[in-house]
């Protein structure tokens, strides 16, 4: 989609016209396959490296457009958010030193990026989800300026409205978003493999089948908004924040825009492109268009630009793509489920594992899949995203195998065979597949390191933001040394340095563990909670979950003084402070201190855009902060 100038579809006429163009492109593609006009004998690979830019405090830095301008190289491109960018390597023939060349090129491009970024006091981070992301980073203020991103946002939100996100892991995330910007929280390492057009359906099915165990070996996205969620939270996050279905559509079992698939593919054009158009709304259009069938009749090669734009708005974890390279049309499969990071060598090893398996597709695969359920493969994929190497997967024998055993005994030998068939240097095969073997044997994926570091640091400090900043700082330093992630030591607190920006915002020091009561609750319950939990302030919510009051020890004393002989149950609302001073979570710590001084209050509730409680800051928090700063 990025290679075409897309437009918003303003009315039903434009929508009908664009659908006609997609149908025409599908017809042309079918002709090209039937007449054997697509390339069948070339094997090429390519990658797209997504990453995050962060400032000196390791929070998102919305400076991608400036950095890209200073780089002045078409290999660097923008992404959905201003703090993300993408590096596109040129396609290369598969063979001999392909993967060591890939690693060297990635290192060269990232070294150059690092130099330009450091001149602006920035860093880059390779990570599936940036740990230090905050809700205030995921707003339309940070959407990239290219019109196609805003057009995509308007189209998706126009269909779905507000996204309600819920992901359950060790912790639980419940939030909502009024844009597609939560999608920008996910960064990937996308691998492309050009396949023979006359075998595309079979190869695509094979790619679907191996997705679950490959993902389990490569997870790197367990943290989001300070919550420990899935091993590969990107899978759940991307699906929910790009969904265009209403509740009614869900009851009809309408397909999501982010999905693995619904069944094994029998006919490439019918089961993929025709099915996609039958099941999904068109979101964007194009102005420039040439009739592809006329182009074929005149001996030319059609661009299939309408189909390409439509295909680019469907986020399949394995996506088929049409392209033209060196004057020849071709088809490729794009692997979209591999996360960015934890290091360059990890990413290249992940690519080698997948490409080797793709080349090693069993000759009897089409017969094998007849006894395999696609529903099992889809369930396995979601299981891999949730629990990674703790998964069990179905294999050719129809039995369930532990992920670690299956990868070590089946996938790695098969991938090695595939890389040998592709004439990859033995040294490179041993290096990259050896890394996967060590990682899986040790059960230490990038997700393992992130969660281990989180749990370790959380025991030392109360501030979740400090924990997340420290983890990001540690990951940034380790990946620039290109050390495989399974060899990383857990992050430790002194890796953040002087902690620049550590306490800049109030959400970095506020208490997130909240005790609240309903305004209709008995004041005796409030008094008991404050006593049991040794707290001096208690927040009061209504039935809608909105902050409506605050109860302090002083108010409790007033209640018992006035009602010490009454004995009649009294509601919290009768004694709470109703005019509550609050502060938004993105406010500065200095602003919070000034607010508390101005109003002579000892606590300050912190709220989000919808006046929902997200935290509280008290005098005690500032005592802890002062102690830390003085010691530092």
Instruction: Work out the average pLDDT over 288-299.
Output: 94
Average pLDDT in the chain: 90
Q: Which of 280-294, 468-482, 548-562, 577-591 has the lowest mean pLDDT?
A: 548-562
Q: How far apart are CA 48 and CA 443, in angstroms?
A: 27
Tokens at residue 82, please? Answer: 């201003």
Residue 597 CB coordination number (10 Å): 9
Tokens at residue 408, please? Answer: 């070590």
Q: Would you say residue 265 has pLDDT above 60?
A: yes
What angle in degrees, to the nearest 10, is found between the helix axes of 344-359 and 412-421? 80
Please give the pLDDT value at position 506: 87
What angle in degrees, to the nearest 10, is found between the helix axes of 200-216 and 344-359? 140
Confidence bin at 9 (pLDDT 50/70/90) = confident
Q: Which domains does the chain have, with CATH numbers?
A: 6-442 (3.30.590.20), 507-631 (3.10.580.10)
Q: Burial level of 37, CB count in 10 A (0-12/13-18/19+)?
A: middle
Instruction: Work out the average pLDDT over 106-131.
Output: 97
Q: Would you say residue 576 has pLDDT above 70?
A: yes
Q: Would you say residue 514 has pLDDT above 90?
A: no
Percent of the chain with pLDDT over 90: 67
User: Where on the phi/psi map is residue 495: left (φ > 0), alpha (ψ -120 to 50), or beta?
Assistant: alpha
* Phi and psi, residue 229, nearest 5°: -115, -120
pTM assigned to the model: 0.89
364 DSSP assignment: T
Please give the pLDDT value at position 631: 66
Q: Would you say residue 569 has pLDDT above 80?
A: no
Query: H/E element holding 541?
Result: strand 537-541
- CA angle, 44 as apex, 268 and 265 as ends, to 5°? 15
Strand boundaries in 392-436, DSSP class E: 392-394, 400-402
Q: Burial level of 368, CB count in 10 A (0-12/13-18/19+)?
A: middle
Query: Strand 284-286 relative to strand 6-8: parallel, antiparallel, unpaired?
Result: antiparallel
Q: Burial level of 47, CB count in 10 A (0-12/13-18/19+)?
A: buried
498 to 48, 224, 490: CA distances (angstroms): 34, 25, 19
Instruction: Work out the average pLDDT over 272-286.
Output: 90
Residue 86 CB coordination number (10 Å): 21
274 DSSP assignment: I
Q: Would you say residue 128 has pLDDT above 80?
A: yes
Tokens at residue 54, please? Answer: 């962060």
Q: Would you say residue 499 has pLDDT above 60?
A: no
Quickly list DSSP for 50-65.
EEEEE-TTSSB---HH
Please give the pLDDT value at position 565: 54
Instruction: Work out the average pLDDT over 306-316.
Output: 92
Percent of the chain with pLDDT over 70: 93
294 to 9, 197, 566: CA distances (angstroms): 25, 22, 91
Query: H/E element holding 334?
Result: strand 328-335
pLDDT tens track for 331-356: 999 999 999 999 999 999 999 999 99
pLDDT tens track for 140-178: 999 999 888 998 888 888 877 777 889 999 999 988 888
- The three-state secondary structure class of 11 is coil
Q: Burial level of 370, CB count in 10 A (0-12/13-18/19+)?
A: exposed
Instruction: Work out the average pLDDT over 547-559.
Output: 78
Q: How far apart are CA 476 and CA 439, in angstroms?
A: 20
Instruction: Work out the average pLDDT over 431-447.
Output: 98
Confidence bin at 558 (pLDDT 50/70/90) = low
Query: Strand 392-394 relative to strand 400-402: parallel, antiparallel, unpaired?
Result: antiparallel
Q: Would you say residue 288 has pLDDT above 90?
A: no
Please give the pLDDT value at position 118: 94
pLDDT tens track for 210-261: 999 999 999 999 999 999 999 999 999 888 876 665 544 445 456 677 789 8
Confidence bin at 620 (pLDDT 50/70/90) = confident
Please give the pLDDT value at position 566: 60
Q: How far apart are CA 218 and CA 231, in angstroms?
A: 9
Please give the pLDDT value at position 1: 39
Q: Would you say residue 2 has pLDDT above 50?
A: no
Q: What is the 3-state secondary structure (H, E, C) of 109-158?
A: HHHHHHHHHHHCCCEEECCCECCCCCHHHCCHHHECCCHHHHHHHHHHHH
Instruction: Work out the average pLDDT over 414-425.
Output: 98
pLDDT tens track for 49-71: 999 999 999 999 999 999 999 99
Q: Which residue has the higher pLDDT, 615 or 381?
A: 381
Distance between the two ends of the chain, CA-based, in angstroms?
50
Please give the pLDDT value at position 192: 98
Q: How far apart are CA 311 and CA 336, in angstroms?
A: 14
């Amino acid at each position: 989609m990025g290679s075409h100038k897309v437009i918003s579809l303003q009315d039903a006429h434009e929508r009908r016209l664009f659908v006609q163009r997609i149908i025409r492109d599908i017809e042309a593609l079918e002709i090209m396959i039937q007449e054997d006009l697509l390339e069948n004998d070339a094997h090429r690979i390519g990658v797209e490296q997504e990453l995050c830019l962060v400032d000196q405090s390791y929070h998102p830095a919305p400076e991608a457009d400036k950095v890209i301008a200073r780089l002045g190289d078409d290999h660097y491109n923008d992404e959905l958010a201003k703090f993300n960018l993408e590096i596109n390597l040129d396609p290369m023939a598969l063979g001999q030193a392909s993967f060591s060349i890939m690693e060297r090129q990635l290192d060269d491009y990232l070294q150059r990026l690092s130099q330009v970024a450091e001149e602006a006091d920035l860093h880059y981070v390779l990570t599936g989800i940036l740990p230090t992301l905050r809700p205030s980073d995921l707003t339309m203020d940070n959407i990239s300026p290219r019109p196609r991103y805003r057009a995509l946002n308007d189209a998706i939100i126009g269909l779905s409205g507000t996204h309600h996100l819920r992901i359950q892991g060790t912790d639980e995330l419940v939030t909502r978003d009024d844009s597609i910007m939560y999608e920008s929280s996910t960064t990937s390492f996308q691998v492309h493999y050009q396949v023979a057009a006359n075998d595309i359906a079979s190869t695509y099915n094979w790619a679907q089948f191996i997705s679950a165990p490959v993902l389990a070996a490569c997870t790197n996205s367990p943290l989001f908004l300070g919550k420990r969620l899935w091993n590969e939270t990107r899978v759940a996050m991307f699906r929910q924040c790009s969904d265009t279905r209403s509740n009614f559509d869900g009851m009809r079992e309408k397909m999501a825009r982010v999905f693995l698939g619904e069944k094994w593919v029998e006919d490439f054009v019918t089961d993929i492109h025709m099915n996609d158009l039958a099941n999904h709304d068109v979101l964007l259009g194009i102005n420039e268009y040439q009739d592809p069938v006329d182009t074929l009749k005149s001996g030319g090669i059609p661009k299939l630009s309408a189909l390409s734009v439509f295909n680019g708005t469907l986020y399949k974890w394995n996506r088929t793509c049409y392209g033209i390279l060196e004057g020849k049309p071709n088809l490729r499969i794009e692997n979209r489920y591999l996360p960015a990071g934890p290091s360059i060598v990890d990413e290249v090893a992940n690519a080698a594992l997948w490409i080797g398996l793709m080349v090693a597709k069993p000759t009897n695969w089409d017969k094998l899949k007849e006894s395999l359920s696609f529903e099992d493969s889809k369930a396995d994929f979601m299981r891999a995203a949730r629990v990674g190497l703790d998964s069990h997967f179905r294999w050719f024998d129809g039995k369930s195998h532990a992920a670690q055993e299956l990868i070590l005994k089946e996938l790695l030998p098969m991938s090695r065979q595939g890389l040998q068939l592709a004439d990859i240097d033995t040294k490179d095969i041993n290096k990259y597949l050896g890394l996967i073997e060590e990682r899986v044997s040790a059960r230490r994926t990038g997700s393992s390191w992130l969660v281990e570091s989180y749990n370790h640091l959380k025991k030392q400090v109360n501030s979740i933001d400090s924990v997340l900043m420290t983890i990001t700082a540690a990951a940034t330093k380790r990946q620039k040394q290109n050390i495989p992630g399974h060899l990383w030591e857990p992050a430790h607190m002194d890796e953040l340095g002087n902690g620049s920006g550590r306490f800049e915002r109030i959400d970095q020091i506020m208490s997130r563990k909240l005790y609240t009561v309903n305004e209709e609750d008995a004041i005796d319950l409030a008094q008991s909670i404050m006593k049991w939990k040794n707290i001096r302030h208690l927040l009061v919510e209504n039935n809608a979950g909105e902050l409506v009051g605050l109860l302090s020890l002083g108010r409790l004393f007033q209640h018992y003084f006035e009602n010490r002989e009454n004995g009649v149950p009294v509601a919290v609302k009768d004694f709470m402070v109703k005019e509550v001073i609050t502060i938004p979570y993105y406010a500065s710590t200095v602003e919070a201190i000034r607010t508390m001084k101005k109003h002579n209050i000892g606590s300050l509730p912190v709220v989000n855009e919808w006046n929902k409680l997200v935290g509280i800051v008290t005098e005690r928090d500032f005592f802890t902060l002062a102690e830390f700063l003085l010691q530092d």
